[in-house]
C-alpha cells in the first residue's frame, strides 16, 4: 500500500487511526534513547577481563620500559604493532594516542590552523573550505564549524562520495581537505568501493596543504557474516605518491571501552614527523598502562577479530530488529528508504521529504530520543529534511523494538500530514 496512492479521505482516516495508536504510546511515558552510537551494557561486559591487573605482568613494555612511569611519546611497541596491523602500515607510521580519535582529529586540525600543513597556517588563509560527504558524522562537522572552516556537501551513494564532484571542487585551492568515514560509514553504513578509494588516492588537489581525514572508526566492526572490505588507502596512495595527504585514525572505543580505550593515527613519514614535533610540546606521553592492557588482552589483529565476533553477536539481533520493523511497517509505502549495512553502528533512514524534523519531534514527544534531524549534515541543515540516523546499539532489544515501532508510526504520521499539507 503506497501511501501516496491513497485518497485524501483514506489518508485522513489512516492518520486518525495512527494518531490514536500514537497517543496510547505517549500515555505510557516511555524513555527510550536511540540517539548516540553507544555500545550497550551487555557489550561493555565482554571486555571486563581487560581490567585484570595480571595482564600488566611486571608493568614492562616489550622494550623493557616501565609503563607506570613517564616516557615514550608515540606509544609502547606492542600497541604500535597492534595498530600497525589494523591499519596495514609500518609501525613507524603509527602513533598511539589517548582515549579518543575525535581528539586526534581535533588536535590535528588545530595544528593545521596554527602551524599549517606544510604551508601557511590555515588560520592565516581566509575562506578555507572542507568537503563533507553527506550524510555524515555530526562530530566531524562540529570540529570544522568550530574552526570556522566552510563545509561543502558532497552527496554519497552506495559506492561512497561523488568523486567527479570532488575532482571538480578540489581545483579550488581554498579547499583544504575532506573528512569522511570510509568503512561502515556513519550513518549510512556503506563502505567505499575499491574504485572510490583508488580515486581518493589519485586526487590532485590545487591546495598544496590538502588533507583527507580518513576516519576509519569501524574498520573491524562487522555486524553480519558478510564482511565489507576497504582497500588500504596507504597502499593505494603509493601508486600516486599521495601518501602525504592522508591522515587515518581509529580507536578501540567500540572494541574495548568507549572513553577508556586507545586511539591511534597512521600517516606518512613527513606527517608523523610534523605531528610528533607538536606532541613533544603537548605531552610527555599518553597512558601506557592502558596501552599495555589493550596489547596484552588482544595480542594481535586476530585477537581483535575474535573479540568483534562477540560484539556482532550482541549487535546483529538489534540491527535485525530495526530492519524487520522497517520492512514490516514502512516497506512499499513510498515514504521511507533505509540502508542495510554489514557493520558499523548505524542505519540511515530517509523519510518522506521534508519530514525528518517532524518525525524526530513526534518521537521525542512519545519518549523516544533520536539523533536530531539534520545532524548528519554540516551546520545541522539537511537540505531535503529527510535523513535520520538510527543508532540501535544502546537500548536493550525489547526497548529497541518498542522504540522502532513508535518511530515507524511517527514516520507515517509525519508523511501523511505532509501529503495532506
Residues binding a copy of itself (CB under 8 A): 36, 38-39, 41, 44, 47-48, 51-53, 56, 59, 66-71, 98-100, 102-103, 106-107, 110, 113-114, 121, 123, 139, 142-143, 146-147, 253, 257-260, 278, 280-290
Q: How many CA atoms lie within 13 A of 148 on its CB side?
A: 7
- CB nearer to a copy of itself: give 74 or 385: 74
Return d(Cα 386, Cα 350) in angstroms, integer: 5
- CB nearer to a copy of itself: give 82 or 144: 144
Output the smallest distance, CB 138 to a copy of itself, in A. Answer: 11
| Cα-trace Rg, the chain | 23
Output the smallest distance, CB 30 to a copy of itself, in A. Answer: 19
Q: Distance of CA 203 to CAs 134, 175, 241, 245, 357, Å?
A: 19, 12, 10, 9, 36
Output the smallest distance, CB 238 to a copy of itself, in A. Answer: 32
CA angle 84, 90, 96 (to 5 degrees): 45
- CB nearer to a copy of itself: give 143 or 230: 143
Please, are residues 131 and 154 in contact by the beta-carbon 8 Å criterion? yes
Give residue for cell 606521553.
Answer: 285
Output the smallest distance, CB 67 to a copy of itself, in A. Answer: 7
**270 CB neighbour count, 10 Å cutoff:** 12
- CB nearer to a copy of itself: give 38 or 222: 38
Q: Which residues contact 233 (CB under 8 A, 6 or more apart)?
A: 182, 197, 200, 201, 214, 246, 248
Output the smallest distance, CB 133 to a copy of itself, in A. Answer: 20
- CB nearer to a copy of itself: give 90 or 283: 283
- CB nearer to a copy of itself: give 149 or 190: 149
**Closest of 296, 308, 302 to residue 77, by C-alpha:** 296
Q: Which residues pair with 130 in a beta bridge?
A: 151, 177
- CB nearer to a copy of itself: give 90 or 282: 282
Output the smallest distance, CB 273 to a copy of itself, in A. Answer: 15
Element (H, E) at 246: strand 246-251
Helix (H, G, I), strand (E, B) or coil at 338: strand
Output the smallest distance, CB 195 to a copy of itself, in A. Answer: 33
Output the smallest distance, CB 164 to a copy of itself, in A. Answer: 32
Return d(Cα 214, Cα 344) in angstroms, integer: 15
- CB nearer to a copy of itself: give 6 or 260: 260
Return d(Cα 25, Cα 240) in angstroms, integer: 57
Amino acid at each position: 500500500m503506497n501511501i501516496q496512492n491513497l485518497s485524501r479521505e483514506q489518508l485522513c482516516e489512516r492518520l486518525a487511526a495512527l494518531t490514536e495508536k500514537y497517543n496510547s504510546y505517549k500515555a505510557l511515558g516511555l524513555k527510550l534513547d536511540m540517539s548516540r552510537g553507544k555500545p550497550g551494557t551487555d557489550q561493555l561486559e565482554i571486555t571486563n577481563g581487560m581490567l585484570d591487573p595480571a595482564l600488566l605482568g611486571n608493568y614492562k613494555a616489550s622494550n623493557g620500559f616501565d609503563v607506570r612511569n613517564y616516557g615514550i611519546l608515540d606509544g609502547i611497541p606492542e600497541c604500535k604493532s597492534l595498530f600497525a596491523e589494523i591499519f596495514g602500515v609500518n609501525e613507524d607510521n603509527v602513533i598511539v594516542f589517548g582515549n579518543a580519535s575525535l581528539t586526534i582529529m581535533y588536535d590535528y586540525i588545530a595544528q593545521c590552523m596554527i602551524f599549517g600543513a606544510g604551508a601557511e597556517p590555515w588560520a592565516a588563509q581566509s575562506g578555507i573550505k572542507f568537503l563533507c560527504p553527506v550524510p555524515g558524522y555530526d562530530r566531524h562537522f562540529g570540529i570544522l564549524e568550530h574552526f570556522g572552516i566552510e563545509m561543502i556537501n558532497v552527496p554519497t551513494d552506495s559506492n561512497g562520495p561523488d568523486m567527479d564532484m570532488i575532482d571538480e571542487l578540489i581545483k579550488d585551492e581554498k579547499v583544504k581537505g575532506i573528512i569522511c568515514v570510509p568503512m561502515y560509514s556513519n550513518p549510512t553504513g556503506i563502505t567505499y568501493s575499491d574504485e572510490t578509494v583508488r580515486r581518493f588516492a589519485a586526487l590532485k588537489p590545487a591546495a598544496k596543504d590538502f588533507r583527507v581525514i580518513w576516519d576509519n572508526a569501524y574498520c573491524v566492526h562487522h555486524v553480519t557474516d558478510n564482511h565489507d572490505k576497504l582497500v588500504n588507502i596507504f597502499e593505494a596512495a603509493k601508486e600516486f605518491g599521495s601518501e602525504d595527504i592522508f591522515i587515518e585514525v581509529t580507536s578501540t572505543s567500540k572494541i574495548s571501552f568507549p572513553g577508556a580505550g586507545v586511539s591511534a593515527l597512521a600517516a606518512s613519514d613527513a606527517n608523523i614527523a610534523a605531528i610528533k614535533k607538536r606532541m613533544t610540546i603537548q605531552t610527555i606521553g599518553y597512558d601506557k598502562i592502558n596501552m599495555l592492557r589493550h596489547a596484552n588482552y588482544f595480542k594481535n589483529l586476530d585477537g581483535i577479530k575474535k573479540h568483534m565476533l562477540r560484539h556482532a553477536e550482541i549487535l546483529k539481533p538489534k540491527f535485525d530488529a530495526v530492519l524487520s520493523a522497517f520492512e514490516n511497517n514502512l516497506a512499499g509505502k513510498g515514504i521511507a528508504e533505509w540502508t542495510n549495512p554489514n557493520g558499523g553502528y548505524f542505519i540511515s533512514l530517509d523519510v518522506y521529504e521534508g519530514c525528518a524534523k517532524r518525525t524526530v519531534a513526534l518521537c521525542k514527544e512519545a519518549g523516544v530520543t533520536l539523533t536530531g534531524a539534520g545532524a548528519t549534515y554540516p551546520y545541522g541543515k539537511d537540505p531535503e529534511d529527510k535523513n535520520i540516523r538510527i543508532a540501535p546499539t544502546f537500548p536493550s532489544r525489547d526497548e529497541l523494538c518498542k522504540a522502532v515501532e513508535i518511530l515507524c508510526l511517527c514516520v507515517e504520521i509525519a508523511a501523511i500530514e505532509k501529503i495532506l499539507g
